[in-house]
Amino acid sequence: MSKVLIVYYSLSGNTKYIAEVMRESINADLLELKPIKEINSDNSMKYFWGGFQAKMKKKPKLNPITINPLEYDLLVLGTPVWAWNFSPPMRSFLSLYDLAGKNVALWLCSGGGQGKAMEKFKNALKGSTIMGDIRFIDPLIHSPEENKTKAISWIQSIINHEK
Ligand SMILES: Cc1cc2nc3c(=O)[nH]c(=O)nc-3n(C[C@H](O)[C@H](O)[C@H](O)COP(=O)(O)O)c2cc1C
């Protein structure tokens, strides 16, 4: 049986929600990326600082990762869209591990306009085999139950395809 790791970053809970519903439906380990210096999620300055970090392709230092992601057969990677890109903590993660040759599946959470975020995410994973990709619009706010079903059927179809 293949080993699956769900890796995600979430500032306000949407991406975390999708990670957790998938984790409940499949046999997988969960890795939450946490920057050592997190931006303040409670005020509107988060768009400024977060957007700036994303635009500048910053790679904030993450809290130590105590498992080895390279030991897994499938990595399911999830991130919010920040300034039409994937988030800086996910960029940090991708710079720490060479996922070339690995099977990956990607999900994005956004408020609406994702721009080329998925394309950029995939470009950062050149050399990996992309088993699937999916997008959610603020799933915790808009129809969480519907998005739960969507996330579960997506991840299960990928796992079944892997077997
Ligand atoms: C710094 C920042 C930049 C964002 N930029 C975008 C964007 O370019 N396009 C978009 O559709 N949503 C954007 N959003 C909204 C988030 O992608 C969206 O609310 C997402 O569901 C949040 O995920 P989370 O709750 O896991 O942090 C941005 C949010 C933040 C905080």
CA distance 85 to 100: 21
Contacts of 122 (CB under 8 A, 6+ apart): 106, 130, 133
Tokens of 42: 């409670």
Q: Where are the domains of the chain?
A: 4-162
Q: What is the pLDDT of residues 63-93, one digit of tens each?
A: 999 999 999 999 999 999 999 999 999 999 9
pLDDT over 70, % of the chain: 98
| Residue 123 burial class via C-beta count within 10 angstroms: exposed 0-12, middle 13-18, buried 19 and up | exposed
In this predicted structure, the answer to whether residue 1 has a pLDDT above a threshold of 80 is no
109 Cβ below 6 A of ligand 1:
yes
pLDDT, average across residues 94-111: 97
82 Cβ below 6 A of ligand 1:
yes
Give the Å distances, CA to CA, from 103 to 33, 43, 52, 126, 133: 19, 37, 31, 11, 12
84 Cβ below 6 A of ligand 1:
yes
pLDDT, average across residues 25-36: 96
110 Cβ below 6 A of ligand 1:
yes
CATH of segment(s) 4-162:
3.40.50.360
In this predicted structure, the answer to whether residue 163 has a pLDDT above a threshold of 70 is no
Q: Model pTM? A: 0.96
Ligand 1 centroid–CA 133 distance in Å is: 18
